[in-house]
Structure 1
Amino acid sequence: MDPREAAARLLRDLRTGGEGLTAREARRRLEVHGPNELPHHKARQWPAALLRQFTHPLALLLWIAAVLAWIAGTRELALAIVAVIVLNAALAFWQEEQAEQAVEALGEYLPQHSQVRRDGRAQSVLAAEVVPGDVLLVSEGDRVPADARLLSGAVEIDASALTGESSPVERAADFPDTAQRPLDSSPLLIFSGTVCTGGSAEAVVHATGRHTELGRIAALSARVRLAESPLERQVRRVAWLIAAVATGVAVAFLPLGVLAGLTWTQAFLFAIGLLVANVPEGLLPTITLALAAGVRGMARRGALVKRLSAVETLGSTEVICTDKTGTLTRNAMRVVEARDGSGVQATPRAEFAAALARCTTADERTESGDPMELALLNFAHSVGVRLDAETRDAQRARLFRFDPHLKRMTTVDPADGGFVAHVKGAPEEVLARCTSALPARGAAQILTNGLRAALVDVVNDMADRGLRVLAVANRSCTVVPADRGAAESGLCLLGLVGLIDPPRPEVAAAVEACHSAGIRVHVVTGDNGRTAAAIARQVGIGADHVVEGTALDAMPEADLDKVLTSGQEIVFCRAAPESKLRIADALHHCRQVVAMTGDGVNDAPALRRADLGVAMGASGTDVAREAATIVLTDDNFATIVSGIEEGRRVYDNVRKFILYIFAHAVPEVLPFLLFALSGGAIPLPLTVLQILAIDLGTETLPALALGRERAEPGLMDQPPRQRAESVVTRRLLLRAWGIMGVASGILVLIGFFAVLLAEGWWPGSDVAANPDLQHAYQQATTVTFLGIVFCQLGTAFASRTQYAALRDIGLTTNKLLLGGCVFELLFAAAIVYLPPLQTVFGTAPPPAWAFALMLPFPVFVWAVDEFYRGRGRAHAAARTQGPEMSTLPSRYR
C-alpha cells in the first residue's frame, strides 16, 4: 500500500471512508494492530542492575578485603569496607538509571488525545487508540498522532523534530506529488510527532506505533547499544592487575613463610595480611568521587553530564562531529549584503525592499517567526520600508508558502490598478523563472545568458563567503494568479540578498585548542555544503572535503573509512538520520573516540551510538537530550572543548591518585616479607589493622584532593590518548613502586628498627615473652605506621604532577590537599594517643626523638621523585631544544 496513491484508492485499501470508522471497527483494529505507541526498551530489572554494581571487579576486591578483615578478627573495619561498597553501588546505580530514557522520551511527542471522525461525527480519543483507517481532524496547535495522508484542506507543519528542517512546511491535499520524492518529503503526508502550526485538514491514518517514521527512528535508538567508556575499560584492567598482584604475593608468601620457619597456619594468616595490604580499599570511592567532581565542574562550564564516565571520555576524544547552526554559529541571522538585479552591490530600490517586507510571514514587532524572515524585515526597515504584520496579512491576496523542495515562497499583494507577485527563494530556482532583471538605476533589462552566468558567479562567491543567498523577484498581474505556476513565471529579478548567521566569537579559539590537542572536527549538517564549508573555515575547521548526503549514502564502507582516517576535516552536508548514525559507526570501526552533537529526534540514534552524544539544551528536543550523555545548556561548541580539557584533567588526576595509592603498597608489604624471610626472628613491623587504618583512613582524603588537582601546564597541547593506553603505565608503576614505594619502605623500616634497637632488642628476641620489649614493640609498630603516614605527605605532593616541577604549579594551590594532609595527621594522632583506639590498633606513643627522625621523611620521598622527574624534563628539553611543556613527548603526560 502506497500512502501517496489516489485518495479514493487509499481509502479502499484501508477499508474506510470519509466519514471514518465505526467505534466497533476501531476497537477491532486496535486489537489487531495494537496501541499507537512507540517501541520501548525492555524494562530493566533493577535488582539485577543493582547486583551488577556489587560485582564490579574493584567491588569484588573490596568484598575479599572485607572477608579477610572479618577472618582477621577486625569486624568493625570489615563492616566499614562493606559500607563503602554499598555507597558506591548506590551512586553508580542511580547514575545509570538517569541515562536510559531516550526511547521513552520519544513517546512525549505523541499527544494524549486526538480528534477523529467515528460513527460519522467528530470525537476526541486517546492517541494510543488511533488506528489505521481513522480519519484525523488536524488544526492549528495539534500534534499529529500517527502517519496520515491528507484528504482535504491544507496545513503548515513544523517537522523540525523529525527532519531537522527549521522552516515550517506546507502540506495540502491537492498538491502534486511524484514517486521520486522521499516519503517524508511528500506534500500529501503528515507524520507522527510533527506539529500543525497553521491551517486545518482531514487525513486518513495509514501507519501507527512502531510502523510510523517516528517509530522507525525509535527502533534505531533502541537497537543501538551504549558504548563502554575508555575509563570503564581501564578501571577493569587495573582491578585485575591489582587482583593478580595481590593474589600472587599472598600465594608466594605461603611456601616462603613455611621455609622461614612459620607453621602453615601462621603462614596463611600472614598471607591474608599481605592480600589485605595489596587491596586499595580507597581506590573505588576515590575514582567515583573524582568523576563526580568532574561532573560538577562540567555543570559550572555549561554542560550537564548524565554518566560519570562521560567526563573522562571527553578527555580521550579524538574526533568531534558538530552541527553548524547554533553550535558553531549564534543562530541569529542578519543581512550583510544586498545586490541589484544585475548583481552589483547597491542600496536596494523601493521595489526590492517592498518585496522583502511583503514576502514574509514573520512578525517583527513580536519577533515571532522564522529567524531568516525576521532578518529580512529588519533589513527592509533599515532602508526605509516598514510594514506591520497585521496590515501586510490583511492586504495579502494569496500566499504560496515556502516549499523546501521548490525552495521558494510567493505572496500576491495589491498594487496600483492590480496585483504584484513577490517571490523569494533559492537563487537557482528563482533565476530559472526570471526573464528580466532590474538594476539599481534605470529600467528593467532582458536577462541574457551572459547576465545569468554572471549572476551565478556572484551567487557562488557569496555562498563561498558563508552567506546564505536569497533571490528576490516580482511580476505584475492584472488579476490574482490562479495557481503557483502562473504566479512564479515571467519574473523580474529585483536582486540578491546575503544573510549570515555569524560564528560565535569564542568558537575559533576553541577549534584552535582542538587542533593543538590533536582533535579533528567534522561538521555534520543539513545545510548547504558551500555555506557550511565557508562557516567551518571561518572558525578554523579545515573543511578539506565536502561530502553531500547523497554521495555519502552511495559511498562504500571502505571509502568512508578511508575518508574519515585521511587526517582531513570533512563537512558532511544534507545528512539524513541514518547517515549520522553511519558516520558514528564508521568512526567506531576505525577505533576513534567520537563526540557527536545533535538536537532533533533524527539525531537520537547517532547520539546513542557515539562514545559521547552531546545534545543542545536550549534548542534541542527532549529526545536528543535524553539520548545524549551530555547536554549543553548554552548550545556552544566552545563548551565541548572546555569539557575535553576537564576530561583530560580528570583522567590525569585519576592517574595521580592511583600513583599515590599504589606508592603505599611497598611499605605495607615489606614488613610482611621481612618477617617471613627472617623466619620470625624479626617481629612483624606492621599489623593488619594498622594497614586498614592507612587504606581507609589516612589515605582517603589526600587521594580525593588529588582528584581535584588543577590542570598541568600544556595539558591541551598533547594528542588524545590511544584506546589501548592503560591508565596504569610502566612509568606510573616505576614511580609508585620503584621510586617512592622503595624509598618509603626503607624509611619506615629504619624507624621501626631504630625504636626496637634503642630498647635493647636483637634479632631473635621474643617480644611477646619479654615484658620489657612488649611496650617497645608497640612503639616500633606505631613508628612504622606513622612513618608511612609521614611518607604519604611526600608522595601526595610528588603525585600532584605527572612531569612538571612542583614550583610550576605552586606548593599551596591545592587547598583541599592541604586540608587532607592536616586531617591525615590528626587521624593518625587519634589512633596513637586516644586510649580506646590504642587498644583497637595496638599503638603506643613513640619517644620524642622518633618524631625528629620521621620529620624529614616527606621531603626525602618527594625529593627522590622530583630528581627522577627532573631528569625526564632535562632529557625532553635536550631533544626539543626547549623546556616548554607543549613539546613534551606523550609518554610524560
Structure 2
Amino acid sequence: MPNQGQNNDQLAQMPLDQFYQTIGSSEKGLTNSQAQQLHSKFGDNVITSAKGENKLWKFLKNFTSLMAILLWVSGLIAMFAQMLELGIAIWAVNVINGLFSYWQENQAQKASDALKKMLPTKATVIRDGQSEQIDTAEIVPGDMIAIAAGDSISADARVISSDSFQVDESALTGESNLSDKKAEYHHGEGKFAESNIVYAGTVASAGSAKVVALNTGMRTEFGQIARLTQSQKSKPSPLEMELNRLTRQLSIIAILIGAGFFLAAIFFVHYPVAKSFIFALGMIVAFIPEGLLPTVTLSLAQGVQRMAKKHALVKSLSSVETLGETTVIASDKTGTLTQNQMTINHVWMPGKVYTVTGQGYVNNGQVMDGDQAVKAGANPDLDFLLKAVSLNNDTTVKPTNKPGAEATIVGTPTEASLVILAEKYQLASQQLASENPRQKEIVFDSDRKRMSTINKGQDGKLTLYTKGAMSGILSITKNILDNGKVRPITDDDVKAIRGANEQYASQGLRSLAIAYRDLSADEGQDLSKATAENTEQNLTFVGLTIMADPPRPEIYDAVKKAHQAGIRIIMVTGDGPITAKAVATKIGLVSDKARVISGDELTAMSDEDLRQAVKGEVIFARVAPEQKYRIVKANQANGEIVASTGDGVNDAPALKQADIGIAMGATGTDVAKEAADMILTDDNFASIIAAIEEGRTVYSNIQKFLLYILNSNVPEAFPSVLFLFSGGLIPLPLTVMQILTIDLGTDMLPALGLGSEKSEPGIMQEPPRSRNAHLLNKSIIWKAFGLYGLVASVISSAAYFFVNYSYGWPEHALFSSGDVYAEATTITLAAIVFCQIAAAMNARTKYTSVFKIGLFSNRHIINGIIFEVMLISAIIYVPFLQDVFNTYALGVNEWIFLLIIPIPLILLEECRKWIVRKYFLKLNK
C-alpha cells in the first residue's frame, strides 16, 4: 500500500514501473477492493475545516449584546428595588432570546454543513480497468484519475499521460501564468514547479491528462497550507446590515420612549425614581423586537431548505435575499432551457438525407433512407461518417439492465448522441476503437469550436477526424466526400451545406459537421508537434449530423412566470443565431422582433452600444463563455440585478461578476461551482424561477413578522399613556409583567410561524424589489401603528373600562387594586392576545385572502396560536401564576367576548385586501 507523505520529487523521477510498484497502483488503476482498503486507512480526501471559536464564548456572546447588557442591568435594578419577579422576568428576556439565538445559529450551521454534503465534487477514476465517477472525497493514493479542462484537482498527483494539459496553480503560487504539465519529468524553478506533478487546490485550465494520486486530504500541499492559514471571517450581507440598522433604530426608539415614560412617571404621576425606572423598563421591553434576528435567520434557513428541495442549493443565506431582487437572468440554452438530451434525427450528406428513428441501442432501432432500411455496409459514405463520429468521441454510454431506467453517460450529451447513432447502426464502437487506436487528441475549445483525433488504421495509416461547428469546419475544408469519392468542394456544395444548416436551424435543430484528412507519412513521424494550427487544414467534408435538444416541458410556464414577475431573460448560447432564435421564440423567451447579436458583433461593439442593446429584446448567439462577462456588466451598468448561469471554466468570471452566479450541478465544472452563489442540481431553468420566488417569499415573511410584532406595541403602550396623561387617575390597565407576557410568551411562536409562510399567490406577478427598499416601510408603519395597533388599543382599553363599568364606574372611581383591578388588567391582557391572533392571520398575506390560502394551512401559526391560548389560560387560572402576573380568573361571558374579538378584525382586513385587489392592483397592472 502507498505511504502518504512520500517526497513528491522522488516519486516524480521514478520510472513508471518502479513508481507503480512504490505507490501500489498500476496502469489500470486500483481495484475496487484496494480502493476500499486504502479509504479505510487514509480516510476521506477532504480539507478539514479550521476549529471554530471557543464553544463557551460562542454560547456567551448571545447574551452580551448592547441591548442584552441593558436588560441585565435593568433586571438587577428591579431586584434591588424589591421587585424580584419583574427582575427575573426581564432576565428571562435575555435567557430566552440568547438560547434561541444560539440554537438557531447551530441550526443554520448544520444546514450549511448539510448543503456542503449535498454538493459533492465528482472525479473520474479508473478502477478495475473501467472509468467511473466518484465523489472526490473517495479518492485514495494510487487512484488513476482522468482530468479534463475545468476540473478542480483534488489530490497531489503524478501525470502519466497528457494532451495539451495546462494547470492554473495560482491558488498555490500566486502566479497567474498557466503551467504546462506533461508525463516527462523536469524540475523547473521554485516550489510546485515539477513538470509532471499536479497539486490539490489547483485547476485544469486546458487539455486533458491521466494522473495517479500521491497524497490526499490534509497530507496534500494544499492541506498543509490550509492547516496553518485556516481563518476566515464572513462579511455581513446587505440584509444583515439592514437588520442591524433596523434593530438599532428600534432599540433607540424604545430607549427614547422609555426615557419619556420615566420622566412622565416622575413629573405627572409623582412616582418614586426606582418605581418610575421599572415602569420605563416595561415600555423599553415592549418596543424591543426580541425575536427579530432569530426569526430572520430561521426564515432564511427555511428558504434555503425549501430551495434545496427544488434543486437549487444556495451556498450562503445572504444569497437568498439577493435572489428576490433579480431583474435579469443571463441564461445558457443547452441543458438549462433545454433538456440537454441530444438525439440525432437526421444525417445530411451531399445529395442524401437520412432520417434516424428508434429509441434503443444495438438491434433496437434503424437508420432509415426514406422508407428503406439502410443495412450496415450498404452506403460507404454513411459508414465512414459513423466511423468518424465513433472514433472522434470521448463519451461512453453504459446501458442499464433496469427496465425504464436511463443509460449512464460519462461525457457530454452531444457525443453521447453520436455514440447512440453508431450503435443504432450496429457499429461496434469498442471494437472499432481497438482496431483504430487513438494516437493524438486535439481538444475542443470555445474559439475553434471543434475537436480532432488522430487514429491509426489497420493499414498503419494515420487519419485526422474532426467534428465541430459547420462554419468553422467549412473554413478549413478543401474537398468533399461524394458517393465514396473525394472531389474538390465547389461553391454550389458550400451553398447546399449552408442551406441545409439554415433549414434545420430554423426548426430549432443543431448541426454538427464531420470532416477528415489522411495524414502524410512525414506528419506522422512526430505527433507531439501536431497542433490545431498545422493539422486542421485542407479537410474533406463528410456530412452533417442534425440533432434535437427539446425544450424542457416545464420551461414554458417558467418563462411566463419570469415575465409576469418583471424579470427579463437573455439567452446567451454558443449555438448559431437561427437555432438560438428559433428555440427562444418557441419557448416564449422573446418575440420574432428580437435582435440577435453574434459573438463577432459583440466583440466589435462598444460598452455603450452593448448597454443600449441589452435594454431591449436580445439574444446572444455564437458567443464564447468569456464574453458573457461583458453582457453581465452591461446589464449591471444599467442598474439591473443580474443572475447568470454557467457551467464551464470560462464562465467563472461572469458567475463571479453577477449578483447571483448560478452553476450547473450535473454538468458544471468544479471551477464554475466554486465561483457560483447557487448550484442547480438538475441544471433546470425552472429551478431558478422557483429559487427567485423563494427569495421574494423570505423577504416578504420578514416584513410579515415585523408587522406582527410592531402591531402589539401600540396596545401595550396605550394603557400606560392613559395612566400618564390622566396624572395617575386611570390606574395602569396593564402591568409591566403582563407586557412581558405578550413579548416573551404569547407573541413568539406565531411570529416564528410567519417566518415559515409559503409563497403568497401573486408574489411572482409583482415587479422585482428595489435595492433601495427597506424592511420597515410606510405600509408596515401605517398598518402596525396607525390602523391595527390603534384598533387593538381601543378594544383592549374598552375591555378594561367595561369591567370597571360592571362594578359601578363611573359612579365609583376606577379600581387600582384588589380583585376588580386584577380582573380588569387580566381582560386587557387577554384582549391584546386575541387581537394578536387576528394579527397573525392578517399578516400572513399582503393582498390575497387568508381564506384562499387556507385558514389552517400554516400549522406553525396554528400551533403558536394554540400555545398562546394555553399560556394565557395558565396565567389566568393557575394560582401561582396569578400571583406573579396579577391576574384574575375570567368567567364564561368574558371568554365569549375574547373569542369573538378576532372575527371582526380578520373580516375588516379581508375587506381592505378586497378593495386593494379590486381597485388599486388593477390600476398598477
Q: TM-score range by the shorter chain?
A: 0.7 to 0.9
Q: Which amino acid aligns with 1:374?
A: A
Q: Which piece of structure 1 moves more, 867-876 or 693-702? A: 867-876
Q: 1:388 aligns with which of 426, 429, 444?
A: 429
CA distances 1:643-671 after superposition (whole Å, capped 9, x unpaired):
12222223222222222211111110001
Q: Tell whether the 8 Å contact from 1:472 to 1:496 is kept in structure 2 after alignment.
A: yes
Could you tell me the TM-score, scaled by structure 2's length? 0.71
Alignment of 1:489-500 (within 5 A): 491-500=539-548
Q: Tell whether the 8 Å contact from 2:166 to 2:181 is kept in structure 1 after alignment.
A: no
Q: Tell whether the 8 Å contact from 1:542 to 1:568 is kept in structure 2 after alignment.
A: yes
Q: Secondary structure at the residue paired with 2:347?
A: strand
Q: Secondary structure at the residue paired with 1:495?
A: strand
Q: Tell whether the 8 Å contact from 2:165 to 2:209 is kept in structure 1 after alignment.
A: no
Paired position in structure 1 for 2:498:
456
- Give yes or no for the alignment of 1:304 onto 2:334: no
Q: CA deviation at 1:515?
A: 0.9
- Give yes or no for the alignment of 1:726 onto 2:774: yes
Alignment of 1:454-853 (within 5 A): 454-463=496-505, 465-474=507-516, 482=524, 491-524=539-572, 532=580, 534-542=582-590, 544-546=594-596, 557-564=607-614, 566-571=615-620, 574-575=623-624, 584=632, 587-600=635-648, 602-604=650-652, 606-760=654-808, 773-853=817-897
Q: Secondary structure at the residue paired with 2:847?
A: coil
Q: CA deviation at 1:392?
A: 3.1
Distance 1:53 1:511 in 2: 48
Q: CA deviation at 1:312?
A: 3.3
Q: 2:253 aligns with which of 242, 245, 250?
A: 245
CA distances 1:608-642 after superposition (whole Å, capped 9, x unpaired):
55433333333334454454443322222211111
- Among all aligned residue pairs of Structure 1 and Structure 2, give the percentage whose two residues are the same amino acid: 33
CA distances 1:534-571 after superposition (whole Å, capped 9, x unpaired):
5444433339455566766776554454444x144453
Q: Secondary structure at the residue paired with 1:855?
A: helix
Distance 1:418 1:157 in 2: 23
Counterparts in 2 of 1:840 and 1:560: CA distance versus 1, 3 Å: farther
Q: Tell whether the 8 Å contact from 1:342 to 1:437 is kept in structure 2 after alignment.
A: no
Q: Which piece of structure 1 moves more, 686-695 or 259-268? A: 259-268
Paired position in structure 2 for 1:317:
326
Q: How many residues are aligned here?
A: 778
Distance 1:836 1:739 in 2: 36
Q: 1:155 aligns with which of 155, 158, 162?
A: 162
Q: CA deviation at 1:799?
A: 1.9
CA distances 1:763-817 after superposition (whole Å, capped 9, x unpaired):
995856xxxx422211211111111111112222222221223333233333332
Paired position in structure 2 for 1:15:
none
Q: CA deviation at 1:210?
A: 13
Q: Which piece of structure 1 moves more, 92-101 or 803-812? A: 92-101
Q: Tell whether the 8 Å contact from 1:409 to 1:423 is kept in structure 2 after alignment.
A: yes
Q: Secondary structure at the residue paired with 2:543?
A: strand
Q: Which amino acid aligns with 2:383?
A: A
Paired position in structure 1 for 2:288:
279
Q: CA deviation at 1:512?
A: 1.8
Paired position in structure 2 for 1:865:
909
Q: CA deviation at 1:493?
A: 3.0
Q: Secondary structure at the residue paired with 2:589?
A: coil
Distance 2:850 2:246 in 1: 27
Counterparts in 2 of 1:318 and 1:50: CA distance versus 1, 3 Å: farther
Q: CA deviation at 1:414?
A: 4.7
CA distances 1:32-57 after superposition (whole Å, capped 9, x unpaired):
xxxxxxxx9x9998479988996999
CA distances 1:714-734 after superposition (whole Å, capped 9, x unpaired):
221111111122222222222
Distance 2:309 2:487 in 1: 60
Q: Which amino acid aligns with 1:299?
A: A
Q: Which amino acid aligns with 1:714?
A: G
Q: 2:92 aligns with which of 70, 80, 84?
A: 80
Q: 1:447 aligns with which of 489, 508, 519?
A: 489
Paired position in structure 1 for 2:384:
354
Distance 2:395 2:285 in 1: 72
Distance 2:417 2:498 in 1: 23
Distance 2:685 2:334 in 1: 11
Distance 1:257 1:386 in 2: 95
- Give yes or no for the alignment of 1:340 onto 2:349: yes
Q: 2:300 aligns with which of 291, 310, 316?
A: 291
Paired position in structure 2 for 1:115:
none
Distance 1:806 1:448 in 2: 72
- Give yes or no for the alignment of 1:379 onto 2:392: no
Q: Which amino acid aligns with 1:428?
A: S
Q: Tell whether the 8 Å contact from 2:162 to 2:182 is kept in structure 1 after alignment.
A: yes
Distance 1:457 1:467 in 2: 13
Q: Secondary structure at the residue paired with 1:873?
A: helix
Q: Tell whether the 8 Å contact from 1:473 to 1:495 is kept in structure 2 after alignment.
A: yes
Q: Tell whether the 8 Å contact from 1:295 to 1:305 is kept in structure 2 after alignment.
A: yes
Q: CA deviation at 1:393?
A: 2.7
Q: CA deviation at 1:695?
A: 1.0
- Give yes or no for the alignment of 1:327 onto 2:336: yes
Distance 2:236 2:639 in 1: 13
Distance 1:302 1:553 in 2: 35
CA distances 1:463-506 after superposition (whole Å, capped 9, x unpaired):
45544423234567897964779986665433222234333222
Counterparts in 2 of 1:250 and 1:672: CA distance versus 1, 3 Å: same
Q: Which amino acid aligns with 1:85?
A: G
Q: Tell whether the 8 Å contact from 1:98 to 1:306 is kept in structure 2 after alignment.
A: no
Q: Secondary structure at the residue paired with 2:203?
A: coil
Counterparts in 2 of 1:811 and 1:68: CA distance versus 1, 3 Å: same
Distance 1:50 1:529 in 2: 59
Q: Which amino acid aligns with 1:816?
A: H
Q: CA deviation at 1:606?
A: 4.6
| Structure 1 unaligned spans of 5+ | 1-17, 21-39, 112-137, 147-151, 164-169, 175-187, 202-208, 881-887
Q: Tell whether the 8 Å contact from 2:597 to 2:618 is kept in structure 1 after alignment.
A: no
Q: Which amino acid aligns with 2:270?
A: L
Distance 1:410 1:251 in 2: 82
Distance 2:57 2:656 in 1: 22
Q: CA deviation at 1:838?
A: 1.8
Alignment of 1:75-224 (within 5 A): 75-83=87-95, 84-88=97-101, 91-92=104-105, 95=108, 141=146, 155-156=162-163, 193-194=203-204
Q: Tell whether the 8 Å contact from 2:792 to 2:835 is kept in structure 1 after alignment.
A: yes
Counterparts in 2 of 1:652 and 1:408: CA distance versus 1, 3 Å: closer
Q: Tell whether the 8 Å contact from 1:740 to 1:864 is kept in structure 2 after alignment.
A: no
Distance 2:600 2:167 in 1: 20
Q: CA deviation at 1:682?
A: 1.1
Q: Secondary structure at the residue paired with 1:326?
A: coil
Q: Which piece of structure 1 moves more, 252-261 or 641-650? A: 252-261
